[in-house]
A = this chain, B = another copy of it.
Amino acid sequence: MILEGKQLIGAQAVTAQGSPIHAVNPATDERLEPAYAAGGKPEVEKACELAWAAFATYRESGLEERARFLETVAEEIEAIGDALIERGMAESGLPRARLEGERGRTCGQLRLFANVVRAGEWLDVRLDPALPERAPMPRVDLRQRHIALGPVAVFGASNFPLAFSVAGGDTASALAAGCPVVVKAHAAHPGTSELVGRAVQRAVARCELPEGVFSLLYSAGRELGQALVRDARIKAVGFTGSRGGGTALLKAAQARPEPIPVYAEMSSINPVFLLPEALAARGQALGEAFVGSLTLGAGQFCTNPGLVIGVKGEGLDAFVAAAGEAVKGAAAQTMLTPGIHDAYTQGVDGLVASNKAREVARGPAGEGPHACQAGLFVASAEDFLREEALQAEVFGATSLVVECADQEEVKRVAEHLEGQLTATLQMDDGDLETARGLLPILERRAGRVMANGWPTGVEVCHAMVHGGPYPATSDSRTTSVGSAAIHRFLRPVCYQNLPQGLLPEALRDGNPAGVSRLVDGKREA
C-alpha cells in the first residue's frame, strides 16, 4: 500500500497547498515519507460542504444499513494487514503487541456500535398515546425519538493512533448516531491515519453511502482545526488531548453564532487511594503492581495513575519502597513524539523545582532520543493541599505519593481534587467503612470509581464511563468510551399528532422497527 500524502475529501484524494508535514520516528528521529502538504480553508470548506450534503441521507439510513457500514469499516481496517501495524510502530514508537491490541479494540468498537445501532436503545423512543376523553383537556398523540445533530469534527489523539484517531471511538459513535465525520488527523501519525482513512473511504464506497460521510484532513498547528470548529455546518466536536488544546476548541465553539457541544477529554491524574487494611496486608505487592500500571505505554494514558494517597506508616513505607524499586527497574520506553517527551521532562523538572516533592526513584534513562525515564515522588498532604502545581498532570510515567497524617486528611485531599476520569480504591474487607466514607467524595469527582484494580485499561462496553467533571472532560454528562458515547451526537425530537405515513419507522404503531419503547412512562417488553 503506497502512501500518497493527500487529504481525503469525500471520495477524492487531494493535494493541498500548505507546508509539508512529515512524521518522525520517535525511536530514531528519522523523518518518514511521504510529506503531507497541510490543508487549509479550501479543504475545510469542501469537506464540510460534502458532509452537509451527505447528512440528509446518512442520518436516515436504515439501522441495518448503518450497522453494516460500521462493520465494513472494521473489515477494511483489518484488510490493511501488517502495513498498518508497521507504519503505526514507526510513527508512534509503540510496540507491535500494543498496536495489534489497539487495532483489535478499534475494530471491536466499530462492531459494538454496529450492534448498538441495530438494538435501537439509542433512539430513546417514547410514546404518549392520545387521550381524547381526558378532562378538562384531551391529550394529543405525542412520540419522541432522537436524531443526529449533524456533521461532527473529530480530532485524532496522539496516544491512540488507532482507537482514538481516524476511526476511533469518537468517529465510530458519531457515525453510529447518523453524523458524517470530518477528521483532523494528528500530525504525529499521518501515515497511519491515511491507511485508516482509505479504509473508511472504501467502506463508504462499498456501502454506496454519500461520499461526504467521511473526510480526513491534515495540518500542523491549530488553524485548520479552528476553521473546522467554526464552520456553521459542523454541529459537534470530539477531541482527546491536552487541556490547552481542548479549552481552545471549547472557546471557539462557544464563540460561534450558533454554539455547539464540544466533547473534549483533557487531563486527569487518576488518584489511587490506598486504604489502611490493604496497605497493612499487601503494601509491597501493591507498590509493585502499581508501577505496572504507571509505566504501561510509557505512562501515556489519560488514565495513568499520577497520584497515590495513603496514611503515613509502615504499610505506605513498604508501598513506596517497593514502587521505588520497581521504578528503578522499569525499562525506559520511547515516548510518542519529541514534544510529548519535552513536556514530560519539563513536568518532572517542575516537581523537582517545587521543593515540595521528594524524589524516591527515577527509572533508567534509556537509549533512544525520546525515552521516558520513569519517576516516583513523595509529598506531604499539607504541601499538596497548598501547592496547585502538585496537582498538574505530568503526562508520562511519573507519579506522586501523598502522605497523609490520618484518614481525615485523606478525605481533605480527596475533596481538594479537580475533576478526574477515574478514582481507585485499594481495599480489603476491613476497609469497607473507610471506603464508604470516601465513595461519595470520589463519585462527585470522577467518571469511574474502581476497587482493587488499576485505572489503565478501559473496557469498551455499555456500562463504561470514560468521562468526568471538568477539567477531566469538558462535559461531565457524557462518556467517550462505550456504547453510551453515541448519546453525545443526538438530540430529541417530539412528533405531535403526525399521520402514520409521516412518522419515522421507529415511532409507528405496531413497532415495526422492533426497538425498546417507553409507553406512557412504562418500558414496553
Contact = CB atoms under 8 A, between A and B. Distances in A.
Given A142-B459, A463-B127, A452 B520 contact: no
Interface in A308-366: none
Interface stretch (A31-39, A88-96, A195-203, A465-473): A465-473
A469 B518 contact: no
A479 interface: yes
B461 A142 contact: yes
Given A115-B521, A121-B518, A419-B258, A498 B450 contact: yes
Interface stretch (A9-17, A165-173, A403-411, A434-442): A434-442
Contacts of A261: 475, 477
User: So how many copies of this chain end up in the complex?
Assistant: 2
A143 interface: yes
Contact of A128 (B459, B474, B525): B459
Contact of A499 (B451, B493, B496, B501): B451
Interface string A460-503: 01111101011100111111000110000011111111110110
Contact of A474 (B150, B259, B467): B259
Interface of A: 56, 60, 115-116, 119, 121, 124, 126-128, 137, 139-140, 142-144, 147, 149-150, 250, 254, 258-259, 261, 419, 429, 432, 435-436, 439-440, 443-444, 446-453, 457, 459, 461-465, 467, 469-471, 474-479, 483-484, 490-499, 501-502, 516, 518, 520-523, 525
Given A127-B463, A525-B525, 19 more contacts: A121-B521, A126-B462, A128-B462, A128-B464, A140-B453, A144-B484, A149-B477, A254-B254, A258-B469, A261-B477, A429-B499, A439-B502, A447-B492, A449-B494, A453-B496, A453-B497, A465-B493, A477-B490, A477-B492
